[in-house]
Amino acid sequence: MSENPAADNTQIRVSTLELFFDLVFVFTITQLAATLYERLDLASLGNVVLILAVVWWMYSGYAWLTNAIAPNSTTRRTLLLTGMAGFLVMALAIPHAFGRDGWPFGVSYLVVSVVHTALFRQAGSGARQANRWTAPLNIVAALLVLLGGFLPGPGRYLCWAAAPVVQIAAGYLIRGGTHTLDAGHLAERHGLVVIVAIGESIVAIGVGFRDVKLGAGAILVVVLALCIAYYLWWFYFAGDDERAEHVLARTPSGKKSRLAMHAYEFAHVPMLLGIIVLSVGVHRVVGRAFEALPWADAIALAGGVALYLVGHAAFLRLFGLRGAAHRLGAAALVLATVPLGHLIAIAQLAAIPIIMMAAAVIEDVPEARRTGRKEVRSFGRTAG
């Protein structure tokens, strides 16, 4: 792998070590879902959003890192393993990150940031120049998180809220054209973490069945949850991921980094948050398929899907791709199912994948017509 993706025309592929890294990172998603499940209210949701914001920023930082430099030496792999250890400890600290485990979370986050900076120093000159502006602010953000672990009440939240603001500012300080990106690698890396997160949410739901009798209601919940997960997959991976990659690849180098940051860092936050909230909502339906859900549970069930769809609509809009309106319309209809869940859980759980399926079919019709016309024209030319 070349240190500079622009040095040749071959596409960088995601290595198995990077996939291993992603599996460790997704444990933070599992922990966030478990934390929200234990206490489903606005305060807990706010904590989850703050943690996800700071953790996701550094995950994306590592995706950009391996886009610029291959983990192909013992030193680099050891440093990457150290970063993985930091993410693992952060994940373990998540349930009490705003309490007794604030300092272990902060120390681990600082380790992750320092390792990221150290690895970037081995990258090509363009990547090093870009990181020269972002690395100090990433360290400042990590120190704010660490400081928050030692402060009481309002001071803690102020530090945590300031950290993502500093990180976002760091992203905008990247000078256009200084960091050459391989579009295929970046798209594949973020796509992998999305699919692993969706799969992990199914695993988390399955764990909730340990003490539940596998009757008709339980089986319905499992099947319908799988249908919802399938349409989460469909909306992201049924061609839009490849089209986005092609758009990014054709974007001028001066604008590519900014577009990648908006689409793969910012727009993915509501998608991942949606997966977290949805898994909590489905988990709370387990064993209660034919009961009325509390409003909070019904909102979580619909709200998770809606967040995901809104995030992906933003993703498509940033790349100028069709389908954003379909996702926003589906999100609105999914939110309208909340009263159904408050009447009987299984009705809402069934309505959501039906709405998603309808949106997918309606979106697919024009594409199928265009493809059909192209095939007819091609056949005509061949026959002629």
**pLDDT surpassing 50 at residue 133:** yes
Average pLDDT over residues 33-60: 94
- The pLDDT, as a whole number, for residue 201 is 82
Using one digit for the tens of pLDDT, what is the confidence trace for 211-244? Answer: 777 888 888 999 999 999 999 999 999 889 999 9
Kindly state the average pLDDT of the residues 318-333: 94
Q: Is the pLDDT of residue 8 over 60?
A: no
| pLDDT band at residue 103 using 50, 70 and 90 as cut-offs | very high
Q: What is the pLDDT of residue 370?
A: 54
CB 269 within 8 A of CB 56: yes
- pLDDT, one tens digit per residue, over 349-379 is 999 999 999 999 988 765 555 554 544 343 3
pLDDT of residue 382: 39
Percent of the chain at pLDDT exceeding 90: 61
Check residues 339 and 365 and name the one with the higher pLDDT: 339
**Residue 103 and residue 93: Cα distance in Å, rounded?**
9
**Mean pLDDT, the chain, whole residue set:** 86
Helix extents (H) in the chain? 16-38, 42-68, 74-93, 102-120, 125-148, 153-172, 183-207, 216-237, 240-250, 253-260, 268-285, 295-319, 324-335, 338-343, 345-383
| CB half-sphere exposure, 213, CA atoms < 13 A | 3
pLDDT tens-digit map of 160-194? 999 999 988 888 876 444 456 888 989 999 999 99
pLDDT band at 10 (very low <50, low <70, confident <90, very high): low
Give the pLDDT confidence score for residue 367 in this predicted structure: 58
Map residue 14 onto helix, strand or coil.
Answer: coil
Residue ranges of domains in the chain: 10-180, 205-383
Question: For the range 85-90, what are the long-range contacts, defined as Cβ-Cβ under 8 Å and sequence gap of 24 or more?
Answer: 85/111, 86/111, 86/112, 86/115, 87/21, 87/24, 87/25, 87/27, 87/28, 87/55, 87/59, 87/112, 88/24, 88/27, 90/28, 90/55
User: How many angstroms separate the CA atoms of 86 and 82, rounded?
Assistant: 6
pTM value? 0.89
Query: For residue 138, is pLDDT > 50?
Result: yes
Average pLDDT over residues 282-294: 90
What is the reported pLDDT for 127? 64
For 330, counting Cβ atoms within 10 Å of its Cβ (0-12 exposed, 13-18 middle, 19+ buried), the class is buried
Encode pLDDT of 258-279 as tens digits.
899 999 999 999 999 999 999 9
